[in-house]
Structure 1
Amino acid sequence: MTDRTESPKAALHALRWPLRLTRAGMLAERLTRAFWPLASVLLIVAALLAFGVHEMAPRGWVLGGLGLSAAAALVALVLGIRAFRWPRATEALDRLDRTLPGRPIAALGDIQAIGAGDAASEAVWRVHVARMADRARAAKAVKPDLRVAARDPYALRYVALTAFTLALIFGSVWRAATVGDVTASGGSALAAGPAWEGWVEPPAYTAKPSLYLNDIDAGPLTVPHGSRLTLRLYGEVGALELRETVSGRPIADTAPAGADAMAQSFEVVRPGELAIEGPGGRNWQIVLTPDSPPEIAPDGPLAVEANGQMSQPFSAEDDYGVVGGRATITLDAGAVERRHGLAPEPDPREALVLDLPMSITGDRRAFSETLIENLSQHPWAGLPVRMVLTAEDALGQQGESAPEAMILPGRRFFDPLARAVIEQRRDLLWARENGARVARLLRAVSFRPDEVFRDEGAYLQLRVAIRRLEAGVEAGLTSEAQNEVAEALWNIAVLIEEGDLSDAAERLRRAQERLAEAMKNGATNEEIAELMQELREAMQDYMRQLAQQQGEQGQEQAQNQQDMQEITGDQLQQMLDRLQQLMEEGRMEEAQQLLEMLRQMMENMQITQGQGGQQSPGQQAMEGLAETLREQQGLSDDAFRDLQEQFNPGQQGQQGQQGQQGQQQGQGQGQGQGQGEGQQPGAGGREGDLGQDLADRQRALRRELDRQQQGLPGLGNSPEGEAAREALDRAGRAMGEAEQALRGDDLAGALDSQAEAMEALREGMRNLGKALAQNQQQPGQQGEGMGQAQAGGDRRDPLGRDQGAMGRVGTDDEMLRGEDVYGRARELLDEIRRRSGEQERPEIELDYLRRLLDRF
């Protein structure tokens, strides 16, 4: 019997701490569920008082709010008391027992009802009790369930707790004590007497912290100009007074009366005295930190590119930072040479104002940037102007640079006709009264269009512009008509200057823009391949037109292109292949950089044609064969006309005359090519025997082909070279057969042989081109054709560096050897900053530029 009772008591004694903790948790549960509304009301009221809401609201509202809060707290307290029940020990013991398997604690209190007195049955019972006791000893305290979401579905308790936490961080618990001032009769002061608070908030652009006047002793106080000072007085009205001479307000407003005197806010705009008079008052001598106006000045000479784009570096500084700037350009009328179209008084025009780029990274208190603009179409382009740079700070103060006299940069035109059109455009924009004079001069310039115009489209556009100008002059030329005609004249001058190159450049620009857009939007590999093919075709067309234009413009443009860069065809192809590879690999940042570099190179490119601007032997051979093919075609046409004469004698008139002209042209060519090789100069002048004349021309053409075959370069022993020789041999034999047929008056047979000769010539030219292209890829051989540089000559990449081995782009040599390394570094940094300021660039590129600026 003793064993049966001792074991349960020992087990229950071991449960005393788990039982106490469980009971405490039950107490927390019931308090939370009963009094969470009361706690929420108290937290909300405390937060409002800590934020000083009672100080800003009218007294009636404050008293009403306090009454409602007290009523709500009382109701919550009564409901909480009614719902609260103190947890009993048996309840805690029951909760603890329910967490154990088999309810062992309840089993320890049971008494054996069946089998009492039976030794075997009692032994089984003791074993059962001992087992339950072991289970009871393993009991642990039950965690309380403090969740009241079912009772508070809108989470009002969390709103109250958050407000109270913010009040502790940003508010002041001492403000809660001032609620007595509001509730006291007549708003009388607290027993402790009047009090005050004050802050000084410097302007945001100064990045200086606010000052709490209660923590600052009396004496000198230095604050930035434009700081806002806020003061609040507590207590009986009139117990404390403010006296100040720093706001610049009229004296009558510096000391407002009544309730307005309890809270004041004003800006500090001049030094002076600030005093709080009364119990606990204090005074300060306010000293202002001056805000100096910004300074700005040019930071180097004006640079002008070939297309008229100007670059003006400048530097600016301010004690707190520059927020904006502009460049103002005005006409320097006194420096204009007033003659011809500039003799009349100019039309009034507003000054040209350009926004200056601001640094987007780093400190704007001192920085350097570059103004980049193209003002080629402005009416003052090419005229003397004055430019003034202006910087502005956050306070509105402005600083200006000294006026800089210069000639407003504009695009240069090399074609004489284009220069004449641009000059008349300038005179028209100078003054509207020049309209009649400009129309007369343009008519004089275009009087004989076949002698001055290369493009009929440009002539037609100019005639339309002249008629518009004359119509405008008759009706009284308006500024709108003036600008319209000026725009048309600009387009005409560009068309005359560039010719077909403008269309090719536009296609190239469009292809580059589409490719850049594809990079930004993530194009597929198929789309990339299609866009790259479009770019290659546009670039080839641009290079071809550029080469043709350079050949037509002669030495004048060559002298003005000494600074242009050179690029070879292999390097261009390598760059295009590299660009496509980068895009397909998803390396869009590098691809965008390479595309931008390619765009700049194409704008300043000079196609090289052999060494020293001369054609290579391969080019000369190909052009000689092409000329031979054209002459053979002309000879075949003349033979065909003679054949028609045999069957249509009535068509003697116009066709016979055309045949004689072809004979005379063929005679001149034959004499130029065949003299010294056995042809008699007078053989081609016989009009009575056309067949013999054609035979002589055919013989001269065959001998010219033999001479060209002996000087063909770079054929080697390649299959293409052998095929070229065989094809040219066949062409020579066919020419000989045509000659024999012409001497025998067999015009039909001669036409067949001439057709065979022309086909063989074409095949020979194709094989020769393949042979030259194959030799071009072999190291140590001369490059052929447009865009190739001599292997033994100056092989340089588009940046002016020595080209690497095996035709690769780049070199391992020092790129800055012999140059100002630090100056070059500054130029690169300025360029990065300029590009980072162009917000129209893709965001991925701007992010890359910002990371470069952060690093360097």
Structure 2
Amino acid sequence: MDASQTTPTIQAPGLGRKIGLARAALAWEGLWPRFVPLLSFVALFVAAAHLDLFAGLDPWVHTGILAALAIAFAGLAWWHLRDFAWPTREASIRRLERDSNIPHRPLVAVQDHLAAGTADPMAKALWEAHRRREAERLASLSNRPAHPGLASLDKWALRFVPLLALVVAIAVAGGWRSDRMAAAVTPAFPPPPPVVANLWIAPPAYTGKPPVYLDMADPDKVLRVPVGSKIAGFVDDVRGRKPPQLLIDGKATEFSTVSKGKYQVEEVITEGKQITLQARGDEQARWKLHVIPDLAPTIEFTRPIGVDKWSTKIEYLAGDDFGITGVQLQMRLHGSVLGDDALSSDEEPEVLRVDLPVAGNAKKISDTFVRDLTSHPWAGLKVTVMLFATDALGQKGRSSVETFLLPERVFNDPTARALIVLRKALTRDPKGYRIDVADGMRMIHGNPSSYREDPVVQLGLRIGSVRLAQNDNKETITDTQKLLWDLAMRLEGGATSDAERAVEQARQQLQDAMQRQAGDEEIEKLIQQLYDAMARWQRELAEKMKDPDERRRMEEQAEKMDPNNTITGDDLQKMLDKIR
């Protein structure tokens, strides 16, 4: 066998443990003298903390002392540990052999091998016998305790001074004081000024609800606000490096900077369950949120539509959770298709829209609409009507569809009745009856005695028939319908004076004011306006009655008129007395 080949190592029971204990003893003898100064440093610091020597120091001075102590401790540790090396296995084996006081180093002998190799049987046998004898000596190996030798290094026993100081300081402090330890390592810097937030939620004005203020000390309060409310306010954060943030269900809105440390925010709330205020990189406050939806309004007829000799009466009930802002009546000729598409388009030419008066922003409206629609081209025809209610958000609610016969004025003059018949035909089917109506107008024009040779009626019939025969556009149809009505009214009651028109206008204004529940001052003003118009009309009638021909004509006209279709001055006077 080659001389380089190793001989199997002979191991004794517990040998590895004994070598490990020897290594630990060597390490402790090297570390403990180095740890004692460090532990003494720590003991003196703890003693100083328990004696409350750091109390009352300026925060920056305290910080400087702590920094100096930390640097000193790190330097001391480096200085004492700079030349320390962990014991090797060879050193540990040598320490075990010295502790056991066994000569000739048996641990090394059992690991040696023949330098000349194992070719000579006699030499090999002698070598094996030698190794077995040395291995038997391994059983007597033993470890001795470590002996760092501090007494020889510290002859004055100064190492006990920090320990004594620590015991005395803890005794003086009345035991272990965690609060003084915390104060010793924490400079007493004044706390940063708190974040001051002044936030509120303003519901939309139409809801009539007061603002809701966000109290940082009451985060559990549920904020119940209508949809569309606006959260706004200011935050003072002089120590903040970044603007605060307002989070609604995680959706962040950054405050805008007003000045240094001053911020403001404004955001509309449409949904969410939680509001969070973040500043200085941390959550400052949190509130629960409940957004109240704004439902669409409702409206319905409360009674069937009523009609009398001159007016249309519609009673309805409308409601909304936050208030009605508008009510509109929409009417079409019977047979037209009703629905949102037909009744909501402002460009629909065959829809009559009437905005009904609404008092304030009431949540519930129970009202009656009365209007004289006898002059409308649809008078005397069947119509369909719907009501629409609108809230502040523009949401619309609609009623069911009602059908009724629109009342018409009863004309006593035969020519006036004929003109109204032509007007109805033109209204029912403008395209189909346009030529027939033009022919009818020419026929009446050719008989001047039927309209008492009134030049105004004659000129109106001539021009109107020519225009209608030549054009079929909407403008011509509408103008002809109005012309036929004006001519019929002229034949029925003569030329309408300014005084009569003033009376009718004042009456209608007063009626509208009553329906929208106007104030007493406005009502009184309109009543007086109607009184003045009536007085002017009566004076004009008195002047006309002085002319025998005019008086005879008026008496003949009165005999022809239907008393049920006449509103007299006494009727108006009674109405005014009832209002007052």
Q: Please, what TM-score do these two structures have when normalized by structure 1?
A: 0.35
| Equivalent position of 1:439 in the other structure | 438
- Post-superposition Cα deviations, 1:342-378, rounded to whole Å, max 9, x if no partner, equal xxxxx97242211111126xx7222323323333333
Secondary structure of the 2:265 match is strand
Contact 2:388 2:399 in 1 (8 A): yes
- Looking at structure 1, the residues matched to 465 and 505 of structure 2 have their Cα atoms a distance apart, in angstroms, of 39
Secondary structure of the 2:326 match is strand
Relative distance call for 1:238 and 1:382 in structure 2 (3 A) is: farther
- Looking at structure 2, the residues matched to 243 and 513 of structure 1 have their Cα atoms a distance apart, in angstroms, of 57
| Equivalent position of 2:372 in the other structure | 374
Unmatched segments (≥5 aa) in structure 2: 1-189, 338-346, 507-523
| Equivalent position of 2:481 in the other structure | 486
| Equivalent position of 2:359 in the other structure | 359
Relative distance call for 1:244 and 1:410 in structure 2 (3 A) is: farther
| Equivalent position of 2:206 in the other structure | 205
| Equivalent position of 1:295 in the other structure | 298
| Equivalent position of 1:597 in the other structure | 573
- Looking at structure 1, the residues matched to 322 and 417 of structure 2 have their Cα atoms a distance apart, in angstroms, of 49
| Equivalent position of 1:456 in the other structure | 453
- Looking at structure 2, the residues matched to 313 and 205 of structure 1 have their Cα atoms a distance apart, in angstroms, of 25
- Looking at structure 2, the residues matched to 463 and 456 of structure 1 have their Cα atoms a distance apart, in angstroms, of 7
Q: Which amino acid aligns with 1:455?
A: R
Q: By how many angstroms is 1:402 displaced? A: 1.3
Secondary structure of the 1:417 match is helix
| Equivalent position of 1:689 in the other structure | none
- Looking at structure 1, the residues matched to 499 and 559 of structure 2 have their Cα atoms a distance apart, in angstroms, of 22
Q: Which amino acid aligns with 2:484?
A: L
- Looking at structure 1, the residues matched to 239 and 405 of structure 2 have their Cα atoms a distance apart, in angstroms, of 73
- Looking at structure 1, the residues matched to 228 and 202 of structure 2 have their Cα atoms a distance apart, in angstroms, of 9
Alignment of 1:129-168 (within 5 A): none
Greater RCO, CA 8 A, separation 6+: 2
Relative distance call for 1:299 and 1:506 in structure 2 (3 A) is: farther
- Looking at structure 1, the residues matched to 306 and 358 of structure 2 have their Cα atoms a distance apart, in angstroms, of 19
- Looking at structure 2, the residues matched to 532 and 413 of structure 1 have their Cα atoms a distance apart, in angstroms, of 23
Secondary structure of the 1:270 match is coil
- Looking at structure 1, the residues matched to 474 and 358 of structure 2 have their Cα atoms a distance apart, in angstroms, of 34
Q: Which amino acid aligns with 1:486?
A: Q
- Looking at structure 2, the residues matched to 517 and 240 of structure 1 have their Cα atoms a distance apart, in angstroms, of 58
Relative distance call for 1:203 and 1:349 in structure 2 (3 A) is: closer
| Equivalent position of 1:267 in the other structure | 268
Q: Which moved more, 1:253-262 or 1:222-231?
A: 253-262
- Looking at structure 2, the residues matched to 399 and 417 of structure 1 have their Cα atoms a distance apart, in angstroms, of 45
Percent same amino acid among aligned pairs? 25
Contact 2:445 2:462 in 1 (8 A): no
- Looking at structure 1, the residues matched to 445 and 490 of structure 2 have their Cα atoms a distance apart, in angstroms, of 15
Matched, 1:548 2:528: no
Matched, 1:391 2:386: no
- Looking at structure 1, the residues matched to 537 and 433 of structure 2 have their Cα atoms a distance apart, in angstroms, of 48
- Looking at structure 2, the residues matched to 540 and 533 of structure 1 have their Cα atoms a distance apart, in angstroms, of 11
- Looking at structure 2, the residues matched to 497 and 239 of structure 1 have their Cα atoms a distance apart, in angstroms, of 82
- Looking at structure 1, the residues matched to 465 and 538 of structure 2 have their Cα atoms a distance apart, in angstroms, of 48
Contact 1:465 1:485 in 2 (8 A): no
Alignment of 1:463-612 (within 5 A): 463-472=458-467, 475-498=470-493, 500=494, 536-537=542-543, 547-549=555-557, 551-552=559-560, 557=562, 561=564, 596-597=572-573
Contact 1:294 1:398 in 2 (8 A): yes
- Looking at structure 1, the residues matched to 362 and 546 of structure 2 have their Cα atoms a distance apart, in angstroms, of 46
Contact 2:415 2:451 in 1 (8 A): no
- Looking at structure 2, the residues matched to 288 and 415 of structure 1 have their Cα atoms a distance apart, in angstroms, of 65
Q: CA RMSD in A?
A: 4.7
Q: By how many angstroms is 1:456 displaced? A: 2.4
Contact 1:314 1:368 in 2 (8 A): yes
Contact 2:333 2:382 in 1 (8 A): yes
- Looking at structure 2, the residues matched to 280 and 477 of structure 1 have their Cα atoms a distance apart, in angstroms, of 73
Q: By how many angstroms is 1:434 displaced? A: 3.2
Q: Which amino acid aligns with 2:573?
A: M
Relative distance call for 1:508 and 1:540 in structure 2 (3 A) is: farther
Contact 2:248 2:273 in 1 (8 A): yes
- Looking at structure 2, the residues matched to 465 and 416 of structure 1 have their Cα atoms a distance apart, in angstroms, of 17
| Equivalent position of 2:49 in the other structure | none
Contact 1:317 1:365 in 2 (8 A): yes
| Equivalent position of 2:327 in the other structure | 325
Secondary structure of the 2:215 match is helix
- Post-superposition Cα deviations, 1:748-785, rounded to whole Å, max 9, x if no partner, equal xxxxxxxxxxxxxxxxxxxxxxxxxxxxxxxxxxxxxx
Contact 2:374 2:408 in 1 (8 A): yes
Higher-Rg member (1/2): 2
Unmatched segments (≥5 aa) in structure 1: 1-188, 336-346, 576-594, 602-798, 800-827, 833-848, 850-856
- Looking at structure 2, the residues matched to 289 and 365 of structure 1 have their Cα atoms a distance apart, in angstroms, of 16
Contact 2:500 2:537 in 1 (8 A): no
Q: By how many angstroms is 1:195 displaced? A: 3.8
Q: Which amino acid aligns with 1:485?
A: T
Relative distance call for 1:536 and 1:190 in structure 2 (3 A) is: farther
Q: By how many angstroms is 1:518 displaced? A: 13
- Post-superposition Cα deviations, 1:380-433, rounded to whole Å, max 9, x if no partner, equal 333332222112222322222112222333323344432221121233344256
Contact 1:218 1:282 in 2 (8 A): yes
Q: By how many angstroms is 1:454 displaced? A: 6.0
Relative distance call for 1:509 and 1:263 in structure 2 (3 A) is: closer
- Looking at structure 2, the residues matched to 313 and 540 of structure 1 have their Cα atoms a distance apart, in angstroms, of 45
Q: Which amino acid aligns with 2:437?
A: V
Secondary structure of the 2:463 match is helix
Alignment of 1:720-739 (within 5 A): none
Relative distance call for 1:295 and 1:213 in structure 2 (3 A) is: same
Relative distance call for 1:416 and 1:209 in structure 2 (3 A) is: same
Q: How many residues align?
A: 354
- Looking at structure 1, the residues matched to 194 and 527 of structure 2 have their Cα atoms a distance apart, in angstroms, of 73
- Looking at structure 2, the residues matched to 529 and 441 of structure 1 have their Cα atoms a distance apart, in angstroms, of 40
Relative distance call for 1:548 and 1:404 in structure 2 (3 A) is: same
Contact 1:294 1:316 in 2 (8 A): yes
- Post-superposition Cα deviations, 1:110-130, rounded to whole Å, max 9, x if no partner, equal xxxxxxxxxxxxxxxxxxxxx
| Equivalent position of 1:312 in the other structure | 314
- Looking at structure 2, the residues matched to 551 and 532 of structure 1 have their Cα atoms a distance apart, in angstroms, of 19
- Looking at structure 1, the residues matched to 257 and 487 of structure 2 have their Cα atoms a distance apart, in angstroms, of 76
- Looking at structure 2, the residues matched to 532 and 377 of structure 1 have their Cα atoms a distance apart, in angstroms, of 24
- Looking at structure 1, the residues matched to 367 and 423 of structure 2 have their Cα atoms a distance apart, in angstroms, of 33
Relative distance call for 1:312 and 1:545 in structure 2 (3 A) is: farther
Relative distance call for 1:464 and 1:216 in structure 2 (3 A) is: farther
- Looking at structure 2, the residues matched to 479 and 242 of structure 1 have their Cα atoms a distance apart, in angstroms, of 59
Q: By how many angstroms is 1:471 displaced? A: 3.1
- Looking at structure 2, the residues matched to 272 and 226 of structure 1 have their Cα atoms a distance apart, in angstroms, of 14
| Equivalent position of 2:139 in the other structure | none
| Equivalent position of 1:339 in the other structure | none
Alignment of 1:643-662 (within 5 A): none
Contact 2:200 2:233 in 1 (8 A): yes
